[in-house]
Chains A and B, each alone.
Chain A
């Protein structure tokens, strides 16, 4: 009985976070039933995650931008433009891939910082400045691809980012061995870090959740990791796209939850005046957040270009809106100061699952847009309601 009441109170406090996981679970279950399990097949999940990568990294950056009460509409075409520059460097200038990628990422940071300066120092509303930047990048993308049209990339290493998988080493019963090892390693690391966190808390004599709940949580999360690993291992294992996305998520999650910089970002978002009076340099934080957004746009452009193995004239169209939708579905608040990286990633997966599931069911594209729109609205309504109740 005690166990259930504790579980219930935990659920009540964290309803917004858990709600999203539950929603994702319901969506996946529904599609699995409707498609006779085809939705949860190794091949489909693997494709789904690979197709989400370049939006997911944008959603990570966008989360921070929205947390500090701004928006960046330019990220889609910025990604498209920087992807095209990468293609030009590789195919027309013959530069090596190991030089191209860092240069593009640095270019992204510079572009993002420029946006940040316009917003924080000149004082232009970010909606307007990024709208202008969006038009400029769209034009720039057309300009650089004007003479050649689509630029084909032949560099195998570069294309691997969007298409290849980690080497299997060996297969065990038709499963990708390296992926299994990685999955097992992640589970062990998760269990170890949870135990050490609990141990630390106990050492400081702080409250912790009861042992049964703790064990249930460990088993539950481990089971999910194991299941995802098993599914992916059944196809080609972890793709480079998934690995890159995970690395970005882990770094940003750590940054936002454990560092002074992260704390400052959320402080600026929840009350900029108070942040300034607390000695936080609001302008500097704005530069950093926009700079990171620019870098992730560049990364997104690289991932997308590599996936297509070419730079096209329309690359990046509507990426920004997908990223913004993912962030809002993931629980970011437009009022600022609220929003988690993990939430936005789940948001991106939810949106991608909807597309993928509806494609499998043969739902027309017109209905797909409407349903995704409705889900976005519902997620935000749920968000507003739960927040009101607590306030």
Chain B
């Protein structure tokens, strides 16, 4: 292969004090398929955002060299002009527009300022042929499956004369057939001289398609493995992805007193009428008093959906199966029923559906339990201030006062407010969904410490997490989910990263 099409040299990038990338070096040779691997939060997406101009020149350190020239992208359209196209996991298509309109959206075929629709359709057909998608260009995106939508995205990229195609977990939402098609297409494009970078969690895929693979961990380049030298095996990849001392990051738990089951679900299924499929199927799960149960799995494996179906079912799934709290069967019609039974759910998307960003810390902390600070429907504001002040110090929330707007806090402090809100409910079982996503190491440690303290006070925790280290460092027992099913259950003594990955990538 002749030289490098892309070289990223010494890239560093910080977010308000948290280092996401530090001195990353990344080389991609002309015409190869290069996979980028690492745990969630290792910095893969950030690196690709730097490359595509989402983070403009000047907000990071280091150099991007594309086709031999140093590039200073100020916006995404700059990188597109140079021939770099990125396709995100969440597709950026317009569902109510047709295939051809989507392919040329933002890049319309014009004659004298007026769109030439006939020419557009002819061009769209050519692009569809290139990606081997056999659909009428006038079909609406809405009427296509996810796999075909992905191909439309690629056709869109090809219409802009792409030289380097970046795919962020392209197969995460695809079934086996569609995934295989997509990989086949990538090989095909390689034959046409198009270089690809693929971010993926599915190691089998990586091994089958990659010419090279670069592993990132904690914002650093660990190594680049070359398939032609036979370096690409599941074991080597996992070893390089992981490899760190867990003891320093996770506080020790003094005593373990595990009691009777608090929550049991039996043969539990949740059907999402909007997606038209089961988001959780035939789940059997048990949580005992004083226990941290980890639920591992990749994004989109149905972990959040399972949690929501247990927590009062706010998404209105059709539920089947049995749910027992303290051994008694329960039906929750609303989240408030679940809360009353002693279950609390700290959401993974704290900004989206966790916090009231325009309100202050005080109002957020008491939002789920106004009964606790009121009598006869009247709020005792002084009581409220006391409660909020208490959580501010016990959760180590760093803020000027409890009247600070939550939207202005850092991610870690927002997460602690979220946690405080649910602790004030006084739950028996706390479901934490990605409790440390996007927060720095120091705040993580504080959250782990709080979790251990709660457990020693007799609470139970379900921790959903994509970070294997965290799952292994904190849990007593681990369930691994994939495709809406529980693929394996591991007591902590038997669990290791390789086993979890094996279940999760099945």
Contacts and interface: CB of A to CB of B under 8 A. Distances in A.
Interface string B348-359: 000011111111
B335 A337 contact: no
Contacts of B370: 260, 263-264
A279 B353 contact: no
Contacts of B367: 263, 267, 274-275, 278, 280
B314 A204 contact: no
Interface residues of B, number: 37
A271 B377 contact: no
A327 to B, nearest CB: 17
Nearest to A270: B356
A258 B358 contact: no
A367 interface: no
Interface string B308-319: 000110100000
Interface string B371-395: 1001001110110011000000000
A338 B379 CA distance: 19
Nearest to B385: A206
Contacts of A6: none
Contacts of B129: none
Given A279-B339, A280-B336, A337 B379 contact: no
Contacts of B340: 279
A267 B356 contact: yes
Contacts of B407: 391
A201 interface: yes
A287 to B, nearest CB: 14
B101 to A, nearest CB: 26
B356 to A, nearest CB: 4
Interface string A297-338: 000000000000000000000000000000000000000011
Contact of A276 (B314, B381, B385): B314
B66 interface: no
B352 A259 contact: no
Contacts of A276: 314, 335, 353
Nearest to B370: A260
A266 B364 CA distance: 11
A391 B421 CA distance: 23
Given A204-B385, A206-B385, A263-B379, A274 B336 contact: no
Given A200-B382, A279-B336, A271 B363 contact: no
Contact of B353 (A258, A267, A277, A337): A277
Interface string A194-211: 000000110110100000
Given A200-B382, A277-B314, A260 B377 contact: yes
A271 B339 CA distance: 19
A261 B354 contact: no
Nearest to B346: A277
B356 A259 contact: no
A204 B386 contact: yes
A391 B126 CA distance: 48
Nearest to A336: B358
B91 to A, nearest CB: 22
Given A266-B359, A273-B352, A279-B336, A261 B377 contact: yes
Interface in A265-291: 266-267, 270-271, 273-281
Given A279-B335, A280-B336, A274 B379 contact: no
A335 to B, nearest CB: 8
B389 to A, nearest CB: 9
Contacts of B352: 273
A258 B378 CA distance: 6
B65 interface: no
A277 B345 CA distance: 8
B383 to A, nearest CB: 8
Contact of A273 (B353, B358, B359, B405): B353
B379 A279 contact: no
B343 to A, nearest CB: 10
Nearest to B308: A277
Given A278-B421, A337-B356, A337-B358, A263 B363 contact: yes
A260 B371 CA distance: 8
A122 to B, nearest CB: 15
Nearest to B408: A391
A281 B378 CA distance: 18
Contacts of B335: 276-279
A279 B336 CA distance: 4
A259 B373 CA distance: 10
B171 interface: no
Nearest to B350: A274
Given A271-B357, A277-B314, A391-B407, A259 B379 contact: yes
A261 B378 CA distance: 9
B195 interface: no
Nearest to A200: B382
B382 A271 contact: no
A271 B353 contact: yes
A33 B189 CA distance: 79
Which of A200, A261, A271: most chain B Cβ within 10 A?
A: A271
A121 B166 CA distance: 43
Contacts of A278: 335, 367-368, 421
Contacts of A338: 358
Given A274-B355, A277-B354, A201 B382 contact: yes
Interface in B428-471: none
Interface string B265-284: 00000000000000000000
A279 B377 contact: no
B328 to A, nearest CB: 20
B347 interface: yes
A281 B334 contact: yes
Contacts of B359: 266-267, 270, 337
A63 B355 CA distance: 23
A274 B354 contact: yes
Which of A203, A258, A260: most chain B Cβ within 10 A?
A: A260
A267 to B, nearest CB: 6
Contacts of A266: 359, 363
A261 B377 CA distance: 7
Nearest to A262: B379
Nearest to A279: B336
Contacts of A206: 382, 385
B374 A274 contact: no
Interface in B298-345: 311-312, 314, 334-336, 338-340, 345
Contacts of B405: 390
Contacts of B312: 279
B356 A274 contact: yes
Given A258-B378, A260-B374, A279 B356 contact: no
Contact of B334 (A201, A258, A271, A279): A279
A281 B335 CA distance: 8
A280 B374 CA distance: 16
Contacts of B355: 271, 274
A279 B368 contact: yes
B358 A259 contact: no
B379 A260 contact: yes
Contacts of A260: 370-371, 374, 377-379
14 contacts: A206-B382, A260-B370, A260-B378, A271-B355, A271-B356, A274-B347, A276-B335, A277-B347, A279-B334, A279-B335, A279-B340, A281-B334, A337-B358, A390-B405
Given A203-B382, A267-B359, 6 more contacts: A259-B377, A267-B367, A274-B353, A277-B314, A281-B336, A391-B407
The 8 A-B residue pairs with the shortest CB-CB distance in the complex, in nearest-first order: A273-B353, A279-B336, A278-B368, A279-B339, A260-B370, A270-B356, A204-B382, A279-B335
